[in-house]
Chain A
Amino acid sequence: MTFIDDYPFEAKIVRRCFFVAFTALGIGGLFGLIQALHRTGMFRFVSHSDYYTILTVHGVLLALVFTTFFLCGLFTWAVTRSLDQPLVSQGFTRAWYWLMSIGTILAGITALSGLTDAIPLSADVLFTFYAPLKAHPLFYVGLALFVVGSWLAGIDWFRSYRSWRSDNPDSRIPLQTFMVIATMIMWYLSSIGVAVEVVAFLIPWSLGIIETVDPLLTRSLFWYFGHAVVYFWLMPAYLLWYTVLPKLSGGRLLSDPLARVVFILFLLLSTPVGFHHQYLDPGIAEGFKFVAMTNTMFLLLPSLLTAFTVVASVEHGARQRGGTGRLNWLRSLPWDEPAFVGMALAGLMFAAGGFSGMVNAAMNLNYIVHNTIWIPGHFHLTVGTAFALTAMAVTYWLLPQITGKRLRHKTAAVVQPYMWFLGMTLMSNAMHRAGLTGIPRRTAEPEYPNQGITFEGIVGGVGEMRFQIALGGALLFASLVLFLFVVAATWMGPRSRQLSVSGSIPPALSGPEDNPRVLDSMKLWTAIAVLLVLLTYGPPLVSLAMNWTGSAPIPV
């Protein structure tokens, strides 16, 4: 039996979430192509000021809407599948879905309206919306509804878990549900920051109820949330690398307990690191930055552990398929299966993203890369590949199970991840190198002719970097079109009598029965996470609130 037969309502919710996610991915991806061509000077057909509108929509749709909606679909599937029971209340599920959708539509339309003067709305504030740059109130209201919707979605999955718990008082939490719970607790803890920023400050300020906001305080609240959100994108990818990728490789996960340890470390450390985005901010004492730096470095640990477990599980799978030798087993992996290829390449690229992340985290090296195009070069490897390519890859495996339709155009589906990998290799390496020369991010025109500012490449020339960024961007967009084509063709095709995909996931070699029970005490881990946040964020936030300076009214 497939998922859609067992859980038709949940399958529908997953499909609807994926529909919004992929619509956002399509529009956001197109806007990404426009930027890549515009800022490299290859092809410009929008004005410089419209570039920033396009950049805002690109960031909001991809970093927030695509990721969160995909995650909501994925987690609904993972909780339902691993607990083997339907969601508790269909009405509640519909409520969070619509709340998130309405929020998305409000924020999206407000931001898109910046492209035309016909609608008196705009939100050219980029996806970080630093005050005192101001958007129309509807943008902030949409964001708030979107976040509240995601909170309700979390409650939905918790209710499912509680109902399962009352029937299974002594069982260990199934691994996928454990991962969902850890991720959502982390999300509640971290999204408080952006909720306070938006609801207490930005909405009243944009409506004219309060005169000024403190720019450093709101910025700090944003980054309280802004690094944890990175892990909110990444943990779904980890969930898939731990549970689905080993199976696709032909084997099973090596260690269930270590997977739990990794997710607990993420829960503890994802939030008290946000100041590493503000290393170069005035008004924050060096000591707070140093604490954030050490926390950030320890956040490498769960990712390094994951690298070991996932690669070892994949190797185990390859050997089950007959692979031998020290490295020859790599040949025995299913390099013609799109779901496997996408996830494997995403994981590989994440390793590269991890290395550039270590540079970002290194407080004093940060002077060289801060606000340069190195930074988007970094996060296009993480959210733009580790997350996005994993999401696309699992769709090739999951879509048949939630639609009951077999995957169409498999050749296109196999080519797609390779193309993404190639496009991202070109674009991202050039962005990293361009960043080292000092070329800034977030600009329509990285040339400064008036002052004759030149950027000198350490490796390669600026022209060559530009060419690689534009070519890489074009390949990424072509890869995205292939993906959307395969998804649309599969989705609109007829129901298949039989599917060639099996949704079963084999248990880990070292299973949950080997777990120390303390790993499942979510209350304990939550308490420690809250304590860590209070210790790292309490003193600086109090000091910022006491030094409130406010912003001046901005002449328009």
Chain B
Amino acid sequence: MEIHRFEKLWLFVSVILIVGFIATITYGSVAAGITMVSDSGGTIQPDNFDNTGFEDPGVRHAGGDEYEVYVVARQFFFEPGSSEPIRVPEDSTVTFYVTTPDVIHGFALAGTNVNAMIIPGQVTKMTVHFDEPGEYGIVCNEYCGSGHHTMEGQVIVVPEEDWEGGSQ
């Protein structure tokens, strides 16, 4: 089988490109610490949230500048998030735990790289650092039924001096 030398060169460059892509992604994961959403949130019974943290969803102070936020996504709102915003202080590290009792949803903070799937039976765990005060819209970005486009919420990152502490 005869391969033209230009084609050999092209093949070589292509493989370098592919290996390069894999290397940069590996760097992002290992060195820059961009971890993927994974199975670390564990599983849950979708019809029974007792003693899981989701029976009373909301913001909890986990010590220092760390907070845990339990959110239940339902057709077609986030609790908390939709009828009342999720409030966390600026310069905090926030771990979101999100699950749903009904269908698959999405949980994305518009304009950021916070973005994940919410699947019945699974707990989505993601840790986010909020540097500055601001308001972020929560968008359900997976089709979840006829009211899908109304499923929205808000995270408010409160300035340090206005933060009253404790759970909201």
* Choice from B1, B25, B113 contacting A362 with Cβ under 8 Å: B25
Most buried by A among B43, B121, B122, B148: B121
B 14-57 to A, binary, CB cutoff 8 A, 1 in contact else 0: 11011001101100110010111111010111110000000000
Size category of the B interface is 35 or more
Complex interface: stretch among B87-95, B97-105, B160-168: B97-105
Q: Do B121 and A549 have beta carbons less than 8 Å apart? A: yes
* Distance between Cα atoms of A286 and B39 in the complex (Å): 8
Q: Do A552 and B149 have beta carbons less than 8 Å apart? A: no
Chain A residue nearest to B98 (CB atoms) is A282
Min CB gap A113→B, angstroms: 15
Contacts A133-B145, A510-B2, A551-B46 known; A456 to B152 CB distance under 8 Å?
no
A 441-457 to B, binary, CB cutoff 8 A, 1 in contact else 0: 11111101011111110
Min CB gap A546→B, angstroms: 10
Given known contacts A132-B102, A133-B145, A281-B117, what 5 new A-B pairs fall within 8 Å (CB)? A282-B39, A282-B119, A364-B28, A448-B110, A550-B46
* Distance between Cα atoms of A257 and B111 in the complex (Å): 47
Q: Do A554 and B103 have beta carbons less than 8 Å apart? A: yes
* Choice from B22, B108, B110, B138 contacting A293 with Cβ under 8 Å: B22
Contacts of A515 in B (CB 8 A): 1
Q: Do B10 and A549 have beta carbons less than 8 Å apart? A: no
Q: Do A368 and B115 have beta carbons less than 8 Å apart? A: yes
Contacts of A372 in B (CB 8 A): 141
* Choice from B11, B36, B103 contacting A286 with Cβ under 8 Å: B36
Q: 17 A-B residue contacts at CB 8 Å?
A: A133-B103, A133-B145, A255-B3, A280-B115, A280-B116, A280-B117, A281-B119, A286-B38, A308-B6, A358-B21, A363-B36, A367-B115, A445-B149, A448-B152, A452-B137, A453-B137, A510-B2
Most buried by B among A130, A282, A285: A282
Contacts A52-B146, A294-B22 known; A438 to B111 CB distance under 8 Å?
yes
Contacts A297-B22, A453-B152 known; A309 to B29 CB distance under 8 Å?
no
Q: Do B148 and A52 have beta carbons less than 8 Å apart? A: yes
* Choice from A452, A516, A547 contacting B43 with Cβ under 8 Å: A547
Contacts of A361 in B (CB 8 A): 21
* B120: Cβ under 8 A from any A Cβ: yes
Chain A residue nearest to B113 (CB atoms) is A367
Min CB gap A404→B, angstroms: 40
Contacts of B115 in A (CB 8 A): 280, 367-368, 370-371
* Distance between Cα atoms of A178 and B22 in the complex (Å): 31
Q: Do B102 and A554 have beta carbons less than 8 Å apart? A: yes
* A216: Cβ under 8 A from any B Cβ: yes
Chain A residue nearest to B74 (CB atoms) is A555
* A80: Cβ under 8 A from any B Cβ: no
CB-contacts of B63-121 with A (<8 A): 75, 101-104, 106, 108, 110-121
Complex interface: stretch among A82-90, A137-145, A165-173, A299-307: A299-307
* Choice from A49, A254, A284, A547 contacting B38 with Cβ under 8 Å: A284
Q: Do B111 and A281 have beta carbons less than 8 Å apart? A: no
CB-contacts of A323-378 with B (<8 A): 358, 361-364, 367-368, 370-372
A 135-162 to B, binary, CB cutoff 8 A, 1 in contact else 0: 0000000000000000000000000000
Residues of B bordering A, CB below 8 Å: 1-4, 6-7, 10-11, 14-15, 17-18, 21-22, 24-25, 28-29, 32, 34-39, 41, 43-47, 75, 101-104, 106, 108, 110-125, 135, 137-150, 152-154
Chain B residue nearest to A217 (CB atoms) is B121
Contacts A282-B123, A443-B143 known; A371 to B106 CB distance under 8 Å?
yes
Q: Do B25 and A448 have beta carbons less than 8 Å apart? A: no
Contacts of B148 in A (CB 8 A): 52, 442-444
* Distance between Cα atoms of A387 and B102 in the complex (Å): 36
* A44: Cβ under 8 A from any B Cβ: no
Contacts of A363 in B (CB 8 A): 25, 28-29, 36
Contacts of B4 in A (CB 8 A): 254-255, 312
* Choice from B2, B108, B122 contacting A549 with Cβ under 8 Å: B122
* Choice from B15, B106, B119 contacting A219 with Cβ under 8 Å: B119
Query: Can you list the 7 inter-chain pairs with the closest CB atoms, starting with the nearest?
Result: A453-B137, A549-B121, A552-B47, A49-B146, A440-B141, A445-B149, A371-B141
Contacts of A445 in B (CB 8 A): 149-150
Q: Do B21 and A297 have beta carbons less than 8 Å apart? A: yes
Contacts of A298 in B (CB 8 A): 18
* A48: Cβ under 8 A from any B Cβ: yes
Min CB gap A391→B, angstroms: 27
Chain B residue nearest to A293 (CB atoms) is B25
Chain A residue nearest to B24 (CB atoms) is A362
Contacts A280-B115, A298-B18 known; A549 to B7 CB distance under 8 Å?
no
Chain A residue nearest to B46 (CB atoms) is A552
* A267: Cβ under 8 A from any B Cβ: no
* Distance between Cα atoms of A451 and B41 in the complex (Å): 28
Contacts A280-B37, A282-B119, A358-B21 known; A438 to B1 CB distance under 8 Å?
no
* Distance between Cα atoms of A367 and B108 in the complex (Å): 9
* Distance between Cα atoms of A460 and B98 in the complex (Å): 33
Q: Do B37 and A552 have beta carbons less than 8 Å apart? A: no
Contacts of A214 in B (CB 8 A): 121
* Distance between Cα atoms of A372 and B36 in the complex (Å): 18
